[in-house]
Amino acid sequence: MSAEKILSEWSGKKFKSLYWLEGEEDYYIDKLVDYAEHHILDEAESGFNLTVFYGKDADWTELLNACKRYPMFAERQVVLLKEAQHMREIDKLESYFDNPLASTIFVVAYKGKTLDKRKTLYKSIKKSAEIFNSEKVKEYKLAAWITEYVQSCGYKINSKAVNLLEEHLGNDLGRITNEIEKLTLNLKGSKEITDDDIEKYIGISKEYNAFELQAAIAKKDLAKALTIIQYFEGNPKAGPIQAVLPALYSSFSKIYMVFGLQDKSVAALKPHFYNNPFAVQAALDTIKNYKYEGVERILLLLHHYNLKGVGIADTGTPDAELMKEMVVKMIA
């Protein structure tokens, strides 16, 4: 069951006795836990019927006693176990999972990983609980996720603004939603987020970023590429090599894939680049200027300099110098 489905059921006052929330993506788990803590019970009920435990400090006997307690002046009580992955004796909860109390809504947040499915505890959970696995958004779906999230907030966002958020923040959904919230508070009546807004309110340069560096490499514009890297050198947080090179590798890998397509027209390429006209144009520029062998060489150089960036086969060359050396070799 999806997070949206669980929230829909909760808002409709449909509850199960047990919810096991696990996985690598904190965003959805935090969203569900926040709703369970602040919205399942009303303010008057919460005073007597909401109990919150934290895994690192939770005592399993106290937790079980709380779950087995009957609600006071309400139909149900809510028990939350946050950061359950840090609970030392979590297996001791197995007996409760086998026989949960109907009037208790027990929500367990097991963040950052999933429980070993070979454990008897997992078998008890599977039998009695609603299990939600919160997975990281795949890289190729991130642009669409950002666009859909912005639309759900009642706004529009242009393609270049999506690129800036995606490349600067990665797939950290919590950071992305926080930054979008910050943007909407500053738009003052406007209903569209632009790359100018990203630069003004978040501080991500629309001119000096990984996407523009890729475009400069695609056009073989060495002067522009070096200028962008020079900006990164003076603003280390804007373009750390550990973020820039993976972003470039991802972009050029998509372009490498194009050589396997029979139809390389703009219309045919759009779906492969999430209907982003800037990405399509960068792909066409790259194909025209580098051909198959050149793109393959770019990918090899990115791999080579990524290793250097983490200290392999390099004695401490500054990041900006590594990137300058790399783009000169690519464009030459």
State residue 64's pLDDT score. 95
Judge if 146 and 124 occupy the same domain.
no
State residue 217's pLDDT score. 95
Judge if 30 and 125 occupy the same domain.
yes
Single residue among 90, 112, 133 that ends a domain in this structure: 133
CB atoms within 10 A of CB 16: 17
Judge if 198 and 214 occupy the same domain.
no
State residue 168's pLDDT score. 81
CATH of the domain at 157: 1.10.8.60
Judge if 174 and 247 occupy the same domain.
no
CATH of the domain at 96: 3.40.50.300
State residue 327's pLDDT score. 96
CA distance 3 to 166: 22
Judge if 18 and 104 occupy the same domain.
yes
Under the phi-then-psi rule, with left for phi > 0, alpha for psi from -120 to 50, and beta for the rest, what region is 23? left
Short-list 183, 171, 202, CA closest to 27: 171
Judge if 56 and 112 occupy the same domain.
yes
The parts of the chain modelled with pLDDT lower than 70 are none
Judge if 327 and 232 occupy the same domain.
yes
Short-list 209, 195, 187, CA closest to 161: 195
How many separate domains does the chain show? 3
Judge if 148 and 123 occupy the same domain.
no
Judge if 183 and 68 occupy the same domain.
no
Single residue among 103, 133, 163 that ends a domain in this structure: 133
**155 Cβ contact list (under 8 Å, min separation 6):** 184, 187, 191, 192, 193
Judge if 83 and 58 occupy the same domain.
yes
Query: What are the pLDDT digits (tens) for 132-169?
Result: 999 998 877 888 899 999 999 999 998 889 888 887 88
Q: Show the DSSP H helices in 74-172 as ranges.
A: 94-98, 120-128, 142-152, 159-169
Single residue among 163, 180, 202 that ends a domain in this structure: 202
Q: Are 236 and 208 in contact (CB under 8 A)?
A: no
CA distance 229 to 319: 9
- Residue 123: give the domain boundaries: 3-133
CB atoms within 10 A of CB 238: 19
State residue 188's pLDDT score. 80
State residue 224's pLDDT score. 94
Judge if 74 and 100 occupy the same domain.
yes
